[in-house]
Structure 1
Amino acid sequence: MTADTATTPRRPDGRWITRWDPEDAEFWAATGRRTANRNLWASIAAEHLGFSVWTIWSVLTLFMTPETGFAFTPGQKFLLVSMVTLIGAILRVPYTLAVPLIGGRNWTVISVAVLLVPTGLAVYLMQHPETPFPVFLLLAATAGLGGGNFSSSMSNINFFFPERSKGWALGLNAGGGNIGVPVVQLLGLGVIAVLGVGSGHLLAALYIPLLLAACVLAWRRMDNLAGARTDVAAQLAAVRDRHTWIMSFLYIGTFGSFIGYSFAFGLLLQNQFDRTPLEAAAVTFIGPLLGSLVRPYGGRLADRFGGALVTVWTFAGLVAGSALIIAASGIGSLTLFTAGFIALFLLTGVGNGSTYKMIPAIYAAKAEDLVAAGTPRETATADMRRLAGALLGLVGAVGALGGVGINLVFRQSFESFGAATPAYAAFLVFYVVCIAVTYAVYLRRPVGTPTSATAA
C-alpha cells in the first residue's frame, strides 16, 4: 500500500474517491473515518427527507375533509396512500443499483432534487380539491419517489464503512430515515393547530426549502466511490435462495406493518372514531416515533437472545395487539384502540431490528456448513457475506410491499363492510402464520437439520 492510499483519499473532478480501503486500520484512522462520517450525516439528512415526502400523504389526507372541499371516500383515501407506498417499494430495487452506476454523491443529489416534483404537486393538489380522483391519484403517487431513497442511501453508506462498523452506521442511517415519518406528522399537527385544516398545502411547501438545502449539503459534503460496484452475481444468487423469500415474508410482517400503519392510523382515527383532523394529528406521530426509536433495541435483543426467538415473540405480541384493537373496536373504546396501536408500532420497531439481524446470522451459519463440508473458511465467509449484503436490499424492497397490502385491506374492509374490524382480523391471522413460519424454519431442530436453519 502506498503512503497516498494510507493517508488521503484521492478526489478527482466531481469528487470521486479512487482509492478507498476502510478495512485498513491506518487508512481508517487517518482520514477514512472522518470522510465516512461526513458522508453518513449528509446521507441521513437526505434519507430523512425522503421518508417524510414518502409519507406526507398520510398527513395530508387528514386535511382532506368536506369543509376543505374534498369529497373523497375512505376507500379512495386508502387507495391513495396504497399507491404511494407501492411506488416507493418498487423503486427500492433500481435505486440500489443507481449508486454504483453514477456515484453515491451524484445519486443523492438527484434523488433529493426529484422530490421537489411530488412536493410541488402536493402544494397544487391541496389547493385544487376539484381535481378528478384518477388524476389526483396519479399525481400524488409521485410521492413514492421518496420511498426509494432508503435503499440507495443504505447501499451507499454500506460501501463507506468497514465490516466492524457497518452495524452502527447502517442502524443510524436507517433510524434517521425512519424518524422522517413522525417528523412530518408532527409538522402536520403544528400546521393544523396554528393555521387550520385549510392549510395543508403549506405543510408540503415547507419541505421545498429543506429539499434544496439537502441538495446543497449532499453536493458539498458527500463523495463518490470509484470502487463501489454492484454485485449482480450475488443478487441473482440471493433471488434463488429460499431464505430471501422467507425473510422477505417476515419483513412484510414487521416493516410492512410499520409503514402501512403509519399511513393508515390517522385515517382510522377519523373514520372509525370521528376524530377531527387536529385530534387525529395529535396522536398519529406517537406510534411511528416510538417504533423508529426502538428499532436498534430490537437488534440488541436479537444479539442477546437470538433473532428468530425475538421475532417469534414480536409476532406473538402483534397477535395480542391486534386482538386488543379488535376488542376496542367492538366496545368503541378510543383509549384501548390507541394503546393497542402504539403497542403495534413498538413491536414492529423491535421486529424490524430482529429480522434484519437474522440475515447475517443465517449466512454466517451457512458459511460454517460450507466449512464443515470442506470449503476454505475465507472463501465460505466471503461468499456468504456477499449473499447477505444482496439479501438485505431485496428484503427491504419486498418488505415495503406489506405497507401496500395493509392499506388495500383497510380499503376493501371499508368498501365491503363499512368498518375496519375484518382487516384487523386478517392481520391477526397473518401474524399467526408468521409465527409458524419463523418457528418451523429457524427455531425447530429436527434431526439432521443443517446449522443454517437454526442459527438465527
Structure 2
Amino acid sequence: MTGPTITDPAPGAGRGRWIEHWDPEDADFWERTGRRTARRNLLFSVLSEHIGFSIWTLWSVMVLFMGPEYGIDPAGKFFLIGTATFVGALVRIPYTFAVARFGGRNWTVVSALLLLLPTGAAYAVMEPGTSYSTFMAVAALTGLGGGNFASSMTNINSFFPLREKGWALGLNAGGGNIGVPVVQLVGLLVIGTAGATHPRIVLGVYLPLIVAAAVCAALFMDNLAPVKNDTGAAKEAVRDRHTWIMAVLYIGTFGSFIGYSFAFGLVLQTQFGRTPLEAASLTFAGPLLGSLIRPVGGRLADRHGGARITLWNFGGMAAATVVVIFASVTGSLPVFLVGFAALFLLSGLGNGSTYKMIPGIFQTKALARGMTGEDAARYGRRLSGASMGLIGAVGALGGLGVNLAFRQSFQQESGTGTAAFVAFLGFYAVCSALTWAVYLRKQAARPATEAETGAGADVSRRLDYAEV
C-alpha cells in the first residue's frame, strides 16, 4: 500500500496540496506516513483556531476598556458579548461543510484571512462617541472567529484514527481555546502599561498574527481529497437523536466555558466592583485553566470512556456552582474565585470528554449493524463529521444563554448574578441525568432484530455506550 500522495486537485476543487489516499485506521499506513502528516496538520490547525478564538472573544476584553465615557451600561455590554457569541455559533454550521467543499488547508487559509475584517473594523471604531449600533455590528463580525473551531475540528477529525481522536481533538480544541486567555492577557498588559484608554493596541497586535496564521496554513497544511460533503450523512445526523443529545451535553460544557470566558471580567466589575485592571488581572486565569485541561479530558475519555468522564464532570460542575452561589450571596470574592476556577477547569475537562464521545457513538452503531474494519470506521467518520458542526453550533449557543442569563440577573433588584447561577445549577443536573440515562444506564440484554441492525435503524436501545 502506498503512502499519501500529494497531487494537483481534481478539476473544480481549487488549487493547493491534496492527499488522494488517506486511511488512518490502517496501522501500517499510520506508522509509516499517516501520523507525521496528521500531527503536522494538527499543529497549524491549532495555530489558526487559536487566533480565531482570540478574535471571537475580543469583546470580553474590549468591554473592559469601555468606561463611563462610552455611555454603555452593564446590560448593554453583556448584550455586545452575547452578539459575538450568537454569530459565532451560527457560522459554525457552514464552516463545517466548507472543509469538504474547499479542502481543510484551503479553508483554513480563507477563514484565517476573514479575521482581518472584524479586527480591522474594531480598530476603526473603538473610541468614545461611536454609536451602540456600530459596536453591535462590529461585535457581530467577530463571530467569524467562532466558526474556525467547527471547521478545524471537522478537519482534524478526518486525519486521526478512532483510538487517538480523543487526544487529537482535545489538543486541537484546547490549543484553540487558549486563544481566550491569551487575548485577555494581552488586554491586561495593555491596561497595565498604556492604560484603559488604548484598546487599539490590542487590535494592532492581532492584525499581523492573523496574516501569519494564514501563511503557515498555506505552506504547511494539506487537503484530504477523500473527504467530501455527504448530504446523506448530514440528513442522517440531523435525524439521529444522539446528535441532539450530545448538543445538549455540549451546551453544558463548551457553552459554559465560552459563556463564562466572555462574562467573567464583566461580572467581576459589575458585582464585585473591580477596576478594569483588577478585573483583567483575574479574567484570563479561568479560561487558561479550562483550555489547558481540555486535552486531559480527551485522554481520560480515551482511557475510561467519554460517558463516564462526562457524568462525573457534570456532578463536579454542579458542586462548583453551589460554591459560586454561596459566594455570590455572601459577597465573598475569594470563595467566588475558587468556585469559578473549578467551573472553568471542569468545563474544559468536559469539552474533551464530550467531543470524544461523538465518533465513538457512531462507531458503536456501525459495529452493531454488522459493519467491520474500514466500513465501520468510514461510517463513524461520516456521521461524526456531519454531526460535529451542528453539535458545536448548538453548544456555542449555550454561551449566548450564559450571557443573556447574566444580563437578566443583573437587571433584577438584587443586582447580582445569583439567579443566573441557580439556573446553571439546574441545567447541570439535567445534563447529569441525561448522560446517565442514555449512555451509562444498563440496558436489558436481548437478541437484536434484523430491523434494528439494518441501515438507518436506531440501535441505541440495546447498545452499551459506556466505552464511547
Q: TM-score, normalised by structure 1?
A: 0.91
Aligned residues of 1:90 and 1:397 also touching (Cα < 8 A) = yes
Secondary structure of the corresponding residue to residue 15 of structure 1: coil
Post-superposition CA distance 1:246-286 (Å, at most 9, x none): 11101100110000000000000000011001100111111
Secondary structure of the corresponding residue to residue 329 of structure 2: helix
Residue identity matched to 2:46: I
Name the CA shift for 1:260/1:27 in 2 (closer, same or farther; >3 Å).
same
Residue identity matched to 2:16: R
Q: Name the structure 1 match of 2:300.
A: 301
How far apart are residue 437 of structure 1 and its match? 1.5
Name the CA shift for 1:7/1:232 in 2 (closer, same or farther; >3 Å).
closer
Q: Distance in 2 between matches of 1:195 and 1:52?
A: 20
1:9 equivalent to 2:6? Answer yes
Q: Distance in 2 between matches of 1:163 and 1:34?
A: 16
Q: Distance in 2 between matches of 1:282 and 1:59?
A: 11
1:112 equivalent to 2:124? Answer no
After superposition, residues 19-418 of structure 1 pair within 5 angstroms as 19-23=20-24, 31-66=33-68, 69-127=69-127, 129-371=128-370, 379-380=375-376, 382-417=378-413, 418=415
Residue identity matched to 2:15: G
Name the CA shift for 1:282/1:223 in 2 (closer, same or farther; >3 Å).
same
Question: Unpaired segments of 5 or more residues in structure 2?
Answer: 446-460
Question: Unpaired segments of 5 or more residues in structure 1?
Answer: none
Q: Name the structure 2 match of 1:450.
A: 462
Structure ranking higher in helix proportion: 1
Post-superposition CA distance 1:301-322 (Å, at most 9, x none): 3344432232222112111111
Aligned residues of 2:89 and 2:146 also touching (Cα < 8 A) = yes
Residue identity matched to 2:125: L
Q: Distance in 2 between matches of 1:173 and 1:347?
A: 18
Q: Distance in 1 between matches of 2:432 and 2:169?
A: 27
Q: Distance in 2 between matches of 1:377 and 1:29?
A: 18
When structure 1 is superposed on structure 2, of 26-35 and 431-440 the one drifting more is: 26-35
Aligned residues of 2:169 and 2:352 also touching (Cα < 8 A) = no
Name the CA shift for 1:310/1:218 in 2 (closer, same or farther; >3 Å).
closer
Q: 1:433 aligns with which of 419, 430, 434?
A: 430
How far apart are residue 245 of structure 1 and its match? 0.7
Q: Name the structure 1 match of 2:454.
A: none
Name the CA shift for 1:163/1:306 in 2 (closer, same or farther; >3 Å).
closer
Q: 2:416 aligns with which of 414, 419, 426?
A: 419
Q: Distance in 2 between matches of 1:258 and 1:179?
A: 11
Aligned residues of 1:181 and 1:288 also touching (Cα < 8 A) = yes
Residue identity matched to 1:437: L
Aligned residues of 1:328 and 1:336 also touching (Cα < 8 A) = yes
Q: TM-score, normalised by structure 2?
A: 0.89
Residue identity matched to 1:94: P
When structure 1 is superposed on structure 2, of 343-352 and 208-217 the one drifting more is: 208-217
Aligned residues of 1:255 and 1:399 also touching (Cα < 8 A) = yes
When structure 1 is superposed on structure 2, of 15-24 and 276-285 the one drifting more is: 15-24
Q: Distance in 1 between matches of 2:291 and 2:369?
A: 36
How far apart are residue 386 of structure 1 and its match? 2.5
The count of corresponding residues between Structure 1 and Structure 2 is 447
Aligned residues of 1:104 and 1:223 also touching (Cα < 8 A) = yes
Q: Distance in 1 between matches of 2:373 and 2:224?
A: 29
Name the CA shift for 1:368/1:21 in 2 (closer, same or farther; >3 Å).
closer
Name the CA shift for 1:25/1:246 in 2 (closer, same or farther; >3 Å).
closer
Residue identity matched to 1:436: A
Name the CA shift for 1:60/1:304 in 2 (closer, same or farther; >3 Å).
same
What is the alpha-carbon root mean square deviation over aligned residues? Answer: 2.3
Post-superposition CA distance 1:369-406 (Å, at most 9, x none): 323xxx66764554344323322332122111100100
Name the CA shift for 1:94/1:265 in 2 (closer, same or farther; >3 Å).
same
Q: Distance in 2 between matches of 1:25 and 1:307?
A: 23
Aligned residues of 2:96 and 2:154 also touching (Cα < 8 A) = yes
Could you tell me the percent identity over the aligned residues?
57
How far apart are residue 327 of structure 1 and its match? 1.0
Secondary structure of the corresponding residue to residue 416 of structure 1: coil
Aligned residues of 1:312 and 1:439 also touching (Cα < 8 A) = yes
How far apart are residue 229 of structure 1 and its match? 0.9
Aligned residues of 1:369 and 1:452 also touching (Cα < 8 A) = no
Q: Distance in 2 between matches of 1:133 and 1:37?
A: 44
How far apart are residue 160 of structure 1 and its match? 3.5
When structure 1 is superposed on structure 2, of 443-452 and 107-116 the one drifting more is: 443-452
Secondary structure of the corresponding residue to residue 419 of structure 1: coil
Secondary structure of the corresponding residue to residue 229 of structure 1: coil
Aligned residues of 2:165 and 2:356 also touching (Cα < 8 A) = no
Name the CA shift for 1:235/1:452 in 2 (closer, same or farther; >3 Å).
farther
Residue identity matched to 2:126: M
